[in-house]
A and B are shown apart, each in its own frame.
With several copies, the nearest count.
Chain A
Amino acid sequence: MTEILYREAIQQALREEMLRDDTVFLIGEDLRDPWGGTYKATAGLSPDFEDKRVLNTPIAEDTIIGAALGAALSGTRPVAELMYIDFVMRAMDAVVNQVAKVRYMSGGQSDVPLVIRTQGGGGRSSAAQHGNSLEAWLCHVPGLLIAMPSTPADAKGLLKTAIRLNDPVIFIEHKLLYATKGEVPDDEYTIPFGVADIKREGTDVTIVAASRALLFSLEAAEELAREGISAEVIDPRTLVPLDEETIFESVDKTNRLVVVAEGAERCGWTAEIAARVQEARFYSLDAPIQRVAALNVPLPFQPDMERYVLPSVKDIVAAAKRTLDA
């Protein structure tokens, strides 16, 4: 095992897969060195590969994704980047009406080996148009697979899997995770989609979260532990498909559930988890499922206000306690 940055994990996965398969190429805005991507996730790749393997594009998100789709349908395996998940709003037609549906609409005539990497999340005071968490929108779209890794090891293993799959994957990184560190296996490995990881075992309450919210949840679990409360923290790693069994089993044990996500609460991802668990495990639950999400307002610029709007460790702790007080 070697400790590397989340950013390096992405770079390694891309590099390894590009070396393994020369139909894999990167396409997006400002991917090439010396810029190397806005969060440097593609840094170091353009100098080491043929020019065509790392393609800088015009600012034209709909056409970047549409073109990547056309390429995926005709013999190559593009890994496209949307610099911010917020910019998916310029590419929504390509992502949803085209990428997600082409296999189905054609009656299964073609594989769609396409990965769309992007990054989301707040906490950088980047205001209402650059800090959103939009995974709920994309989970609502049949035909997409969604990964949202929280650690370098998960990021690398899931991205390698994503590139090898023949289905379109939305791969959501987090702007404040790129500089986080974690142990990564030295040997070649991949991580399957649809398998959750219990990041911390516990018995009193289950906390489900992905991406940066998972780190917050682990901190919250620490804090709860200091008060004698044992929280189990589950990282689904992929939102579609979702490993619901792991969540259900945990709830059967703890009888309490808190779901955490950075996106706005209304019609967000936490709603889906709450809805499913209350249905499947109605009789296991000893307390109402608690959702911890962003308030239903746009993200404000000012850092304190932003922190207030986004879910925090404190909010998770409070939610867990609510389930225990119930």
Chain B
Amino acid sequence: MASETDRKDLLEMFRSMVRIRLFEQAAYDMYMDGELPGFMHISIGQEATSVGACSALGEGDYLTSTHRGHGDTIARGLSIESAMAELMGKADGACKAKGGSMHVADFGLGILGANGIVGAGMPIAIGSALSSNYLDRKTVTLCFFGDGAMTTGPTHEAMNMATLWNLPVVFVRQNNLYAESTPVREYQGIPDILKWAESYGMPATRVDGNDVQAVHDTVLTAVERARSGGGPSFVESETYRWFGHNIGDPGKGRPPEEVTAWKARDPLVICRSVLLDDGADEASLSAIESEEQEKLAKAIELGRAAALPKLEDALTDVYGDQTLAAAALGEVRR
């Protein structure tokens, strides 16, 4: 933490984590107030994993995320305006209100989408990595998945293809200890996940997922390896979601001591104290927080003022070819 650049990077990461935390806290409250529809998975507690990993990416790189994708996508640069408008179901949302929380995407930033289907991002990640090699582009794909996704078939299929074809992909398992209500030990027969991942012929590292610097450094090593032709890596990032599985789930199955212990290891507090130890002043950190608070307030305000989609907007974006689209849609009687 000596150099100026490092400090600047860490400050940026801090800012990004603050942004996510505030965004998700607001989303939670707005959802509880009935302002946001659908269902929604909050990643508060996991910010260091999202931000540490995404900050290891460069321009042109790709990202696939999960149903719990607010943090991942904002960490990658998704604007909170378009994210918030999307959650609100507004026409200028990131996905024109067609995707919602589970499908936020920004192809311009290489965000190939959150995904409502557990494990479904992994094959897609293999694909953008394949394009990268095919087109000789040196881009890397970061593939987030939850601990629960571990046991889905595509995980195995994708990890096999990744080493087989030496693809530039980094698999980051966001291990928050539970798949919905089920703790890892109750669904995972595999005693040592790193050994399992290594058996695919890729380096596998465990990292403290609440330490943004550690995540960043670990994922950066993997990203650089991938970019220089070294192939895929696996990172197990241990973290925790503070809330239940989705908003509405009280998370009753988890021992209260466990929740308390993890909350005591708040990734934002950890990062903050590293920054303070490193000489950053309290005021500049508070400034970041209030700037982000303000930006969020503005995003919410903008979102509230924004227009709803027209009903007929539901009929567009099914196909690119407009003639075929009209024919495929058929008569609309509504």
Chain A contact residues, CB within 8 Å of chain B: 23, 25, 29-30, 32, 34-35, 38, 52, 56-60, 62-76, 78, 86-87, 89-90, 93-94, 97-98, 102-112, 124-130, 142-143, 145, 165-167, 193-194, 240-243, 265-266, 295-298, 300-306, 308-309, 315, 318-319
Contact = CB atoms under 8 A, between A and B. Distances in A.
B113 A106 contact: yes
Nearest to B124: A70
13 contacts: A60-B153, A74-B132, A93-B120, A109-B106, A127-B103, A130-B102, A145-B324, A167-B324, A296-B330, A301-B86, A301-B100, A301-B103, A315-B333
Contact of A56 (B128, B182, B323): B182
Contact of B253 (A35, A70, A125, A129): A35
A105 B99 contact: yes
B327 A73 contact: no
A125 B153 CA distance: 28
Given A60-B157, A303-B89, A129 B116 contact: yes
A194 B113 CA distance: 31
A67 B332 contact: no
Interface in B308-334: 308-309, 311-321, 323-324, 327-330, 332-334
Interface string B115-152: 11111101111111111111101010100000011011
Interface residues of B, number: 91
B158 interface: yes
Contacts of B125: 70
Given A52-B133, A124-B38, A305-B97, 13 more contacts: A66-B123, A69-B123, A70-B125, A87-B117, A104-B98, A110-B107, A126-B38, A126-B100, A126-B116, A166-B321, A194-B324, A298-B98, A301-B99
A52 B117 contact: no
A29 B328 contact: no
A66 B107 contact: no
Contact of B130 (A71, A126, A130): A71
Contacts of A30: 179-182
Contacts of A23: 134-135
B154 A66 contact: yes
A67 B314 contact: no
A240 B328 contact: yes
A57 B122 CA distance: 16
B181 A127 contact: no
Contacts of A62: 123, 153-154, 157
Among A66, A74, A124, chain B packs the most CB atoms within 10 A around the CB of A74
Contact of A302 (B100, B120, B319): B100
A106 B103 contact: yes
A76 B129 CA distance: 11
Nearest to A318: B333
B227 interface: no
Interface of A is mostly: loop
B180 A70 contact: no
Contacts of A111: 320
Nearest to A145: B324
B240 interface: no
Contacts of A94: 120, 123
Contacts of B107: 73, 106, 109-110
Contact of B148 (A52, A59, A130, A243): A59
A35 B314 CA distance: 34
B92 to A, nearest CB: 9
A70 B149 CA distance: 18
Contact of B131 (A65, A71, A103): A71
Nearest to A193: B324
A90 B126 CA distance: 17
B303 interface: no
Nearest to B329: A296
Nearest to B89: A302
A97 B315 CA distance: 18
B22 to A, nearest CB: 23
Given A59-B149, A303-B89, A71 B160 contact: no
A161 to B, nearest CB: 10
A66 B122 contact: yes
B95 interface: yes
The interface centre, meaning the residue of A35, A68, A143, A298 with most chain B CB atoms within 10 A of its CB, is: A35
B123 A67 contact: yes
A56 to B, nearest CB: 5
Q: Chain B CB within 10 Å — which of A56, A302, A308, A315 has the most? A: A302
A59 B187 contact: yes
Given A104-B317, A302-B97, A296 B328 contact: yes
Given A67-B161, A128-B103, A103 B116 contact: no
Given A35-B253, A75-B131, A107-B317, A58 B188 contact: yes
Contacts of B124: 66-67, 69-70, 73, 98
B308 A304 contact: yes
A29 B161 CA distance: 13
Nearest to B326: A241
B314 A297 contact: yes
CB-based closest 3 A-B pairs? A70-B127, A66-B123, A301-B100
Given A66-B122, A74-B128, A34 B181 contact: yes
Contacts of B97: 107, 300-302, 305
Given A70-B126, A295-B315, A297-B314, A59 B119 contact: yes
